[in-house]
Structure 1
Amino acid sequence: MDDDESQPAERAPLLREELLHVENNPKRTPLPFGQLSIPLFLRFCESASWSSIFPFINNLLLSLTGGDETKVAYYASIMDVSGNTLALLAGMWWGRISDYVGRKPVILLGTAAMVISLLLVGVSKTFWILVLSNAGIIKSAIGEMADDTNRADAFALLHVPWAIGTPLIGGSLANPHTRFPDLFSGKLWQDFPYLLPCATVAFASSLGFLILLICFRETLPRNTTLEPTSNPPPAVRTLLTRRVLLSASSYVLISFSHGAYLAIQPLFLAMPIPIGGLSLQPTQIGYILGFYGFYNSLVQTFLPGRLVRQFGLRTVLGATIFVFIPIFLLFPLMNVYAKDWYFYQHRDGHTYSRFIMHALLAIQLCLLSIGEMGYGCTYMYINSSAPSRRSLGSVNGLAQAAGSIARLVGPGLANAVLGLSIERGWMGGYAVYFLLCLLTVGSVGLVGLLPRGVWEAENN
């Protein structure tokens, strides 16, 4: 057993205080990009499996509701609740299992399940098949590859493949029998118009499975995976310390606001203007989100690490949560200008309200890229709160389960209230956005309970 494993310091948090000023930082260790690129590619596949359906999810749900536009938000709410309920039930135990058998086997199993889930979405003909298909170990592996001097950059990179997300795939490859009739004219593509984008992402995920199987080196120390009974991970109840709970809470805060936004966004972009949306087509949505993904990947690559070192972890996290207030307020403002163009200006050939609508959408997406920096901040808090290397998977699993609760409540609440707002005309159909703003204000206040930087080592 290594000396590190036998010392009491193993029970101390893995990270040290992130220094606030660049001139005081030690020389940063280069990141192991060869090994790091493998979980990052799988993170990309995970993101693509989720965001590629954004451009066509409204149309898919509309076809399953018999064309009833008022029911789409309710159906989307059921999808979000079902998927995050499964994540809540499984997340903690996946992390726990990875502390025993290693990170690699659990990531392999999760990738295989993702491929099956994608194919189920592609062949969905009834709503309940779609629900069944909506079924944190990568963060643990990355936490073990990095050290104190480069962890801000490593966790910033973790969000880059998620930021890319490839919604362009869904927008470009949906309905191939009408877009590419020479290549996809068969009955299969007519019966399952969303199979091609889902199968494309499933193929990329299968490729990631093979690369992980062949090339990825296990990050959990070998002696801990070979002798799980001699040095078992600490019991779950011992992990429920103040620092772990506060760190998991930070993940809950960002997951709630971001999850609520992502639940509403694809519906808002596609909904007809008269009932509160922008009436965009799947191809348009795919291009918009694809461009945003490219822009966001650059932001997540170059900014978060620098901002954390300059201003401190807590300040950056608080700012990333705060920006969701204007993000939510921009939804009704965009629709107001869209309605002005739809009902009045386009008849006279005027387009300035439509231009303002698109400008506001661009501003919203720029603010969203700032909000998404919060994930890297929460990953640093979570990993620094772990009592030991052996508990890193369990702590990440605990945080993932807590985040699943937020993603269970946030999107479910957002879509349900959106449906009620439209159906009953609450605040002109905009009640959901003002409710989310109020909840976000409370989240910003809770950030003050976190330390200014990552958790300091405990003296044992």
Structure 2
Amino acid sequence: MVGEPTTHDEQTPLLSRDGAQNDVRRTPLPLKQISIILLLSFCGVAAAYSSLPFLNELLLSLTGGDEAKVLYYASIMEASRNACFLITVIYWGRISDHVGRKPVLLLSCAAVIISTLLLGMSKTFGMVVLSRCISGGFNSNVATTKTVIGEITDDTNRADGFALLNVPWSLGVSIGFFIGGLLSNPHKHFPHMFSGKIWRDFPYLLPCATIALASSLAFLVALTHFHETLPRKCNSFTPVEGTSTDTRSQHTPPLHTLLTSRVIFSISNYVVLSFLTKTYLSIQPLFFAMPIAIGGLALEPIQIGSILGFFGLCNAFVQAFFLGPSVRRFGLRKVLRCSLSTLIPTFLLFPLMNIYARDWQVHHHPNSRVIMYTLIAIQLALFAIHDFGYGCLSIYITSSVPNKHSLGSVNGIAQTSASVARLIGPAFANTLLGLSIEKGWMGGYAVYFVLSGMAVGGMILVGMLPESAWEAANPEES
């Protein structure tokens, strides 16, 4: 059965290569286990995004209406959350290698419930920061869910399993925004149903309580129906007669011993992909909203929200149904390289869109407006193909581990490294965008050419990876 321990030696990697992949019949996905993982992921994403519609209003109420302090407070809040995440995520991976994946997933879900309720009842900035610290410090979902997917799938269906992780993300973002925007201030929007004092005192409690309730149901489902995926021997705290009491340390080796060349190559590609993705995602909404005269499209917020919301739903469909067949048809490295290559035209389309927007603004050519929106659609389609890279690299990372008991630790290292890249990416891109506009570098478009060049470098880095998933490790690497 998929996901159960085998009789192979403990140093055997999670991916075996017993012949051409196309000649092997695909193993059906363990839908029950995967559905629970997707549910937990959905709750985590929805909780993270449900606060964004009312966050500015919440911070304004805490600063006494001082708008100058809002950005300062928001920066402290996000920095606290990110710092807690960076400090702890690698250790949650290590802990999951010791005690199992299920306890860590349940603890993460419980943290979502507590942090969300705490945010909804916050009356001071300290409570807001505490809720964000709990959310970040116990946010082990991303690394642990990837670990579980790697353990309950095999090399015939792993691409399909990782592709499904995009579905709860896209749905969580959309539904989280919807819940946060619709249910905040219920005493104003639904006075006949929510006229009680509690809703006036805590205007953001209803959306937070809704998320917490959904997360509580997910917690109960996982508690009663999710089966541990960490091999039982590795999950045991009871020493077996005739064995050393240091068994756990043998199963979970020191971090430095996990950094084999193939782990480093896989994570390096993941870091580059994360960096480039975050630069695009940080520039995109700014570009859509910026005035045409300085290089943007001057779209209204409702237009931007509609475009990005529709793309999110379409992207979930594309990832779920096309990543697996693409990997089986073309091979893992070719799909990954194609993913990186799409970023080159993706970045270069920014100045082209602005050129047509300028033409429409100055000469009022209707075709220019149509072409501009067509280019937006092409750019988003290219970015959907780009997202294939995450599923591909999840497969590479899963197959790169020195032994099957260290997957949680390796995923923790990968998430920590990628998180650093995601912090640096927006700062780098936004700073370069500002300088390009201010200094007039290449007509204000220099940032897009620089990022396209970096995407070329990412394509070259893919060459360090094998055509398919990593083969079995050499004994000295184990």
Q: What band does the TM-score fall into relative to the shorter chain?
A: 0.7 to 0.9
Give the deviation of 1:217 after TM superposition.
1.5
Aligned match of 2:214: 204
**Aligned partners of 1:35, 1:19: CA distance in 2, in Å?**
27
Give the deviation of 1:31 after TM superposition.
1.1
TM-score by length of 2: 0.79
**Aligned partners of 1:322, 1:197: CA distance in 2, in Å?**
40
Aligned match of 2:107: 109
Give the deviation of 1:355 after TM superposition.
2.5
| Conserved? CA contact 1:36–1:142, under 8 Å | yes
Equivalent residue for 1:410, pick from 404, 425, 442: 425
Indicate the SS of the match to 1:303. Answer: helix
Give the deviation of 1:296 after TM superposition.
1.3
Give the deviation of 1:36 after TM superposition.
1.0
Cα gap change, 1:267 to 1:194, in 2 (>3 Å) = farther
Cα gap change, 1:335 to 1:78, in 2 (>3 Å) = farther
Structure 2 unpaired stretches of 5+:
137-142, 239-245
Aligned match of 1:253: 272
Equivalent residue for 2:410, pick from 395, 407, 416: 395
TM-score by length of 1: 0.82
Cα gap change, 1:286 to 1:213, in 2 (>3 Å) = farther
Letter in 1 for 2:408: G
Aligned match of 1:14: 14
Aligned match of 2:148: 141
| Higher deviation after alignment, 110-119 or 302-311 | 110-119
**Aligned partners of 1:344, 1:52: CA distance in 2, in Å?**
42
Equivalent residue for 2:401, pick from 382, 386, 390: 386
Cα gap change, 1:110 to 1:275, in 2 (>3 Å) = farther
| Conserved? CA contact 2:186–2:206, under 8 Å | no
Aligned match of 2:333: 314
Cα gap change, 1:231 to 1:128, in 2 (>3 Å) = closer
Structure 1 unpaired stretches of 5+:
none
Give the deviation of 1:289 after TM superposition.
2.3
Aligned match of 1:30: 28
Give the deviation of 1:157 after TM superposition.
1.7
Indicate the SS of the match to 2:405. Answer: helix
Pairing 1:183–2:186 present: no
**Aligned partners of 1:452, 1:191: CA distance in 2, in Å?**
59
| Conserved? CA contact 1:55–1:283, under 8 Å | no
User: CA offsets, 1:249-271, max 9 Å, x none?
Assistant: 12112111112222223333344
User: CA offsets, 1:278-335, max 9 Å, x none?
Assistant: 4444443333222212211221112111111121111111111111121122223323
**Aligned partners of 2:360, 2:186: CA distance in 1, in Å?**
29
| Higher deviation after alignment, 396-405 or 415-424 | 415-424
Give the deviation of 1:15 after TM superposition.
0.4
Pairing 1:294–2:317 present: no
User: CA offsets, 1:11-65, max 9 Å, x none?
Assistant: 132103497663x2x1111111011101112222333345567788899999999
Give the deviation of 1:234 after TM superposition.
1.4
**Aligned partners of 2:282, 2:58: CA distance in 1, in Å?**
15
| Higher deviation after alignment, 362-371 or 143-152 | 143-152
Cα gap change, 1:371 to 1:67, in 2 (>3 Å) = farther
| Conserved? CA contact 1:169–1:286, under 8 Å | no
**Aligned partners of 1:253, 1:363: CA distance in 2, in Å?**
23
**Aligned partners of 1:337, 1:294: CA distance in 2, in Å?**
27
| Conserved? CA contact 1:15–1:455, under 8 Å | yes
Give the deviation of 1:149 after TM superposition.
1.9
Percent identity of equivalent pairs: 52
| Conserved? CA contact 1:15–1:147, under 8 Å | yes
Cα gap change, 1:245 to 1:182, in 2 (>3 Å) = closer
Letter in 2 for 1:208: A
* CA radius of gyration, larger in: 2
Indicate the SS of the match to 1:220. Answer: coil
Give runs of aligned pairs for residues 3-402 of structure 1, distance below 5 A: 9-17=9-17, 22=22, 24=23, 26-50=24-48, 83-115=81-113, 133=132, 135=136, 136-167=143-174, 169-170=176-177, 174=181, 182-183=189-190, 200-227=210-237, 229-232=246-249, 233-342=252-361, 345=364, 351-402=366-417
Letter in 1 for 2:29: L
| Conserved? CA contact 1:252–1:403, under 8 Å | yes
Cα gap change, 1:191 to 1:332, in 2 (>3 Å) = farther
Letter in 2 for 1:230: T
